[in-house]
Structure 1
Amino acid sequence: MPKLLPLGTSDFQALRLNNEIYVDKTDLIFQLAKGRGKIFLARPRRFGKSLLISTFESLFKSGLQNFRGLAIEDLWEDKLYPVVRLDFSKLKGYDSVEFFREAFFNYLQESFYPLGFRYDASRTSVLAQLDSWTQTLETSSLVILIDEYDAPLTERLHDDSQFNQVRDILSQFFAILKSNEGCLRFFFMTGITKFSNTSIFSAFNNLQDISMNPIFGTLLGYTQEEIIENFSEYLTSAAQKLKVSEQDLLDQLKLHYDGFCFDSSAKTHVYCPWSVLNFLNYPELGFQNYWYKSGGQPTVLLKFLVNHALEKPVDYAEDKLIRLSDLNTARQYDEICLDALLTQAGYLSISEVLKNGYAVLTYPNKEVAVSMAQLYADELLKGRPLEHSRGPLIADVMASGRVEDVIDVFNKTVTSIDYSRYPITDESTCRAYLQVLLIGAAMLPRVEVHNALGRSDLEVEIGTRHWVFEFKFAHRNSQVQSLLSQGLEQLKANRYGKQSTLNELIRVALVFSEEDRKFTAWQCV
Structure 2
Amino acid sequence: TSQYDGFCFERTAKSKVFAPWSLLKFFSEPESGFLDYWFESGGKPPVLLGYLKSHTLRNPEEYGREKTISLASLEGSSDVEGLSDLGLLTQAGYLTIKAIKYTDTVYLDYPNQEVKRAMAQLYLEQLLRGRVAGQVGAGPIVRVLKEESPESVFHILNRLFLAVDYHRYPVKDEASLRAHVQVYFAGAGLKPKIENHNAHGRSDLEVQASDRLWIFEFKVVRDEHAADEELKEAIDQVRARHYGEQENYLELKKIVLVFSIKERQFVRWAQA
Same fold (TM over 0.5): yes
1:71-127 CA-partner distances (Å, limit 9, x unpaired)? xxxxxxxxxxxxxxxxxxxxxxxxxxxxxxxxxxxxxxxxxxxxxxxxxxxxxxxxx
Q: 1:349 aligns with which of 96, 101, 109?
A: 96
Give the residue type in structure 1 aligned to 2:45: P
Give 2:200's aligned residue: 453
Give 1:485's aligned residue: 232
Which has the larger share of helix?
1
- Asked if 1 retains the 8 angstrom alpha-carbon contact of 2:138 and 2:156, the reply is no
Q: Is the aligned partner of 1:430 residue 2:170?
A: no
Give 2:38's aligned residue: 291
- Asked if 1 retains the 8 angstrom alpha-carbon contact of 2:136 and 2:160, the reply is no
Deviates more, 1:436-445 or 1:370-379: 436-445
Q: 2:146 aligns with which of 394, 399, 407?
A: 399
Give 1:28's aligned residue: none
Structure showing greater Rg? 1
Q: 1:337 aligns with which of 84, 95, 98?
A: 84
SS of alignment partner, residue 460 of structure 1: strand
What does residue range 382-421 of structure 1 map to in structure 2 within 5 Å? 382-388=129-135, 393-421=140-168
1:117-149 CA-partner distances (Å, limit 9, x unpaired)? xxxxxxxxxxxxxxxxxxxxxxxxxxxxxxxxx
Give 1:256's aligned residue: 3
CA distance in 2, matches of 1:374, 1:392: 12
CA distance in 2, matches of 1:268, 1:456: 36
Q: 1:320 aligns with which of 59, 67, 79?
A: 67
Aligned length: 272
SS of alignment partner, residue 455 of structure 1: coil
1:307-350 CA-partner distances (Å, limit 9, x unpaired)? 32222233333322100122222443321222112111110012
Give 1:467's aligned residue: 214
1:176-220 CA-partner distances (Å, limit 9, x unpaired)? xxxxxxxxxxxxxxxxxxxxxxxxxxxxxxxxxxxxxxxxxxxxx
- Asked if 1 retains the 8 angstrom alpha-carbon contact of 2:213 and 2:251, the reply is yes
Q: Is the aligned partner of 1:523 residue 2:270?
A: yes
- Asked if 1 retains the 8 angstrom alpha-carbon contact of 2:47 and 2:80, the reply is no
Give 1:514's aligned residue: 261
Q: 1:412 to 1:318 in 2, by over 3 A?
A: same
TM-score (norm 2): 0.91
Could you tell me which runs of 5 or more consecutive residues in structure 1 were left unpaired when the two chains were aligned. 1-253
Give 2:14's aligned residue: 267
Give the residue type in structure 2 aligned to 1:481: D
Give the residue type in structure 1 aligned to 2:206: E
Q: Is the aligned partner of 1:282 residue 2:26?
A: no
SS of alignment partner, residue 484 of structure 1: helix
The Cα of 1:438 is off from its aligned counterpart by 1.9
Give the residue type in structure 2 aligned to 1:363: Y
Give 1:368's aligned residue: 115
Deviates more, 1:408-417 or 1:284-293: 284-293
The Cα of 1:255 is off from its aligned counterpart by 2.7
Give the residue type in structure 2 aligned to 1:395: V
SS of alignment partner, residue 135 of structure 2: coil
SS of alignment partner, residue 289 of structure 1: coil
SS of alignment partner, residue 133 of structure 2: coil
- Asked if 1 retains the 8 angstrom alpha-carbon contact of 2:8 and 2:15, the reply is yes
Q: 1:288 to 1:423 in 2, by over 3 A?
A: same
Q: Which has the higher contact order (CA 8 A, sep 6+)?
A: 2
- Asked if 2 retains the 8 angstrom alpha-carbon contact of 1:260 and 1:350, the reply is yes
Give the residue type in structure 2 aligned to 1:265: T
Could you tell me which runs of 5 or more consecutive residues in structure 2 were left unpaired when the two chains were aligned. none
- Asked if 2 retains the 8 angstrom alpha-carbon contact of 1:387 and 1:394, the reply is no
- Segments ≥4 residues shifted beyond 4 Å: 389-392
- Asked if 1 retains the 8 angstrom alpha-carbon contact of 2:258 and 2:268, the reply is yes
SS of alignment partner, residue 456 of structure 1: coil
SS of alignment partner, residue 471 of structure 1: strand
Aligned identity (percent) is: 41
- Asked if 2 retains the 8 angstrom alpha-carbon contact of 1:427 and 1:472, the reply is yes
The Cα of 1:524 is off from its aligned counterpart by 1.7
The Cα of 1:360 is off from its aligned counterpart by 1.5
- Asked if 1 retains the 8 angstrom alpha-carbon contact of 2:137 and 2:156, the reply is no
CA distance in 2, matches of 1:262, 1:341: 14
Give 1:310's aligned residue: 57
CA distance in 1, matches of 2:75, 2:100: 14
- Asked if 2 retains the 8 angstrom alpha-carbon contact of 1:313 and 1:380, the reply is no
Give 1:23's aligned residue: none
Give the residue type in structure 1 aligned to 2:76: T
Give the residue type in structure 2 aligned to 1:292: F
Q: 1:259 to 1:440 in 2, by over 3 A?
A: same
Give 2:106's aligned residue: 359
CA distance in 1, matches of 2:139, 2:118: 21
CA distance in 2, matches of 1:388, 1:471: 25
